[in-house]
Each structure stands twice: as structure tokens, then as C-alpha cells.
Amino acid sequence: MTTIKLHNSKTRKKEVFIPIDPDNVQMYVCGPTVYDRAHLGNARPVVVFDVLFRLLRHVYGDAHVTYARNFTDVDDKINARAAESGREIGEITAETTQWFLDDMGALGALEPTHMPRATQYIPQMIAMIEDLIARGHAYAAEGHVLFAVDSWREGYGQLSGRSVDDMIAGARVEVAPYKKNPMDFVLWKPSDAEQPGWDSPWGRGRPGWHIECSAMSHDLLGESFDIHGGGNDLMFPHHENEIAQSCCANPEGEFARYWLHNEMLQVEGKKMSKSLGNFFTVRDLLEQGIPGEVVRFVFLQTHYRKPMDWTEKKAREAEKALERWSVYGLDHSGRQPDNEVIAALADDLNTPKAIARLYQLEKERDFDGLVASLDFLGVSTMNFALQMRGLNTRLYQTIDGVLLLSLKAKLVDARNSAMETKDFAEVDRLKSAYTEAGLEVRMSKTGVELVPGTGFDAAKLEGLE
């Protein structure tokens, strides 16, 4: 079995991944707050942990991996969006949740096993808060319930590497008068008549941000599970607070054994910002004609623990490579991803090394391994080819695009063989047959293109070997 090594943020070192139960490997990743379109930075953890999900399924089996990623659908940003638009909160979150799924699907992301919504788990959150109060780890004050950081000083700050005293000394925010300690954080807060709210022992209110992930991961995965992931901007305070809540509510469990955090995203060397004019959503790129496979391929070229820089140059180069490889995306049955690609991913998701191996496979003319490895990485050469033709030409508007790709692949293979044998008889035979059927054959050093004329008759190519 492939040995997987992952960099554990909690221990700050790369460790051999040993699941609690190899028959039920479990992963939880913090998902989006659904109030608008997902921007490019939101997509990076989706792609990172989708690759990990695929790797775990490859090693342990599809039926033995459980992946949960939540939707935060109760939040002050959502409330503000509802107030300014006059729309119902439920209507906004339902729409934006589907937007997110559609956009991430366009990037080749598999849907997780579970996609819980915070509003579906309010009873579990209330029960966990009650338990924390009973255990002396939380207290009610002025309609709020707060976690008492002093009750767990020995554990708080281990993930982020900060001490409670240092955090208090570095605080620059006004401390609410009902807090016993400046670092105490909200588990429950009151709601006014205009805000969403649920009945609770502390009055009508809504949950704080951090409690939702603790309650949902416990309900879906139990007191101990294998991997918890998210962007490194969540390490503190969100993940630190999750650990505190979960370990105090369930002291007999471990919560998460391995913590993985991806670095942030830049655009052309600068932080993505609306004020800089370099802020855009995944949907913006898709509507500009950039296929999702290109976006994903660019992401994969940077290791997840390093800052990723999105540039137009990288996108163009990715598009050229996928255009070149897309011709091999047909008629390769029984293919398996290349062993060196798997080995690279098993070494702390070393996607840059995996991508470098793809170029080697191209040089070695191992097109089966190339296409299988691309598929494993979530990059569909077939989808890329169809999107590019649909966006740039009329090639697939009136005829079977899959047929044209198959014919193109046949001619490319024949030409590649001829370049080695210096016998171009098969190339000439295919060109003649294609031309007779009404296809214009364009061949150059950069590739092969087939353009159907108005009289194209696919029937004339039936039985062509």
C-alpha cells in the first residue's frame, strides 16, 4: 500500500499518515460562507483537499473515505446581504450554495460525502454549548454564551503556537464588558427581530462562528477523526477555537489528528483586492472563456503550503499544454495513473512534482499514463477540448464533437508514428479519407486541426480503421 506523508500543522512536521480506521478514513474541511460568488482564493482549498480526497480514495478505496465540508449559511455577512437586497436569507443562501457547487464542479472538484449546512445543526450546537457550560468551560452573560479560555489554558494556542498571555497582550480590540477574559469567544449570541434566530436556554439567538464546525464534525465523524483542513487564515482563531470547544466537550476524544493548511493566493504578485482591481471570482474566469481545467492546472503547479500567484502567463501556458494533450483523451481503456505521479502526491501533496512528471510522460510518449494521471488529478482532457472548441470555434456546434476528437487522435497517432518510421502512408490515407468526407485537415508543427465543411458526412468515415 502507498505510504502517505502529510505536513501536520499541529506538530509542524511531516508525518506518516496512519488513519484511526483504514476502513473509514475521515476528513473535515471548513467550507464557504454563502453570501456571494466564490472568488479565486476560495477555490484554492477546494482544489487542494479535492486532490487529497482523490489520493485517499485511491489508497484506501472509494467506499472507505468520508469527506465532510460545511456551508456556513448563518452569518452577519449574509444578514447584511439580505438587508441590502430585500431578499429572504434562505433564498440567498440556497442560490449562492448552488453557485458554489457549480463553480467548483467546473474546476473538476468532486462533491464531498457530506455537505452539512450550519442551520441544519442548530440543536447539536445548543447541546454542545450546554455540555460546555456543565463542564465549566463556558458561561452565560447578557444573552451571550462564551467559552472560558482560562478553563483550558493548557491546550489553548497549541495549533497556532501562541500563549494565552501573549494573545491578550497583543489584542487591539475593544473587549466586551461581559467577558471574563479578553480571549473568551462567543458560542451563542442574541438576535433582534430582524436577525435570524432560534430558541435556546439563553433566549432567542444564533450560534457564533466557531461552534458550528465542532458540532457538525462531531455529529458526522465522531469524537476523533483523521484530518482537518482549511486555509491558513483559519488557523487562528477559528481552528484554535474549534479545538478548544471540541476537546473540552469530548475530553475522551482526539478531535482531529492531522491538521493541513493551504497558503493564500495572489494575483500577478499582489494580494487580491477590489481596491487594486485584481479581484475576481471563479465565475468571472469561466465567463471570460478560461476553462475550469486551466484554472485547476495553474493551481496544481504550486505546492499547497506555498503562496500561489495567479498570472495570465501561467494560464496561457497551462492552456497550451492542455491543448496539446487533449488529443490523447480518447480510447485509452484500462489506464491507471502513473506511479511517480501517485508517489509525488503521497509526499505531502507535491503537485508541482506531479505536474513535472506529466511533461516527462509526454516526452516518453506514454500517453496512456499522461491522460490517466491528468484524470486522477481532476483535469479532464475531454472536457477541456470540448470547452475550448465551444468557446473558440463552431467546430462542435452542429456535429458530434467526440467523433472529431477521435478522428483527430487517430491522425495524431499516425503522424507521431510516421515521424519515427519515416513512412507517411497511413497519414496520407487518413487525410484522404477525411477530406473526402468533407473535413479540412490542417497540420502544422504545433498540432492537427480538423474543420468540418458544410458538406461534412460522418457516414463516409464509418468503418475507417
Task: Supply φ then ψ for residue 193, to 5 degrees.
Answer: -65, -25
Cβ–Cβ under 8 Å, residues 207 and 125: yes
Global pTM value = 0.84
Contact, 49 vs 113, CB < 8 A? Answer: no
Predicted confidence at residue 59, as pLDDT, reads: 98
pLDDT of residue 391: 42
The predicted structure's pLDDT at residue 381: 81
- Stretches in the chain below the pLDDT threshold 50: 391-399
Helices 351-363 and 367-376: angle between axes, nearest 10 degrees: 160
Point out which residues pair with 71 in neighbouring strands: 117
pLDDT at res. 399: 45
At residue 260, the pLDDT reads 98
Amino acid at 420: E
| Helix ranges (DSSP H) in 261-350 | 282-287, 292-300, 312-325, 339-346
Return d(Cα 113, Cα 93) in angstroms, integer: 20
Distance, CA of 62 to CA of 252 (rounded, Å) = 29
Residues 257-290: tens digit of each pLDDT: 999 999 999 999 999 887 887 888 999 999 988 9
> Which domains are seen in the chain, by residue range?
5-262 (3.40.50.620), 266-385 (no CATH), 397-461 (no CATH)
Which pLDDT score, from 0 to 100, does residue 398 have?
Answer: 38
What cell does 206 get?
Answer: 444564533
How many CA atoms, within 13 angstroms, populate the side-chain half-sphere of residue 406?
Answer: 12
What angle in degrees, to the nearest 10, is found between the helix axes of 339-346 and 367-376?
A: 30
b/e per residue, 350-375, with b = 16+ CB within 10 A?
bbeebbebbeebbeeeebbbbbbbbb
| pLDDT for 341 | 98
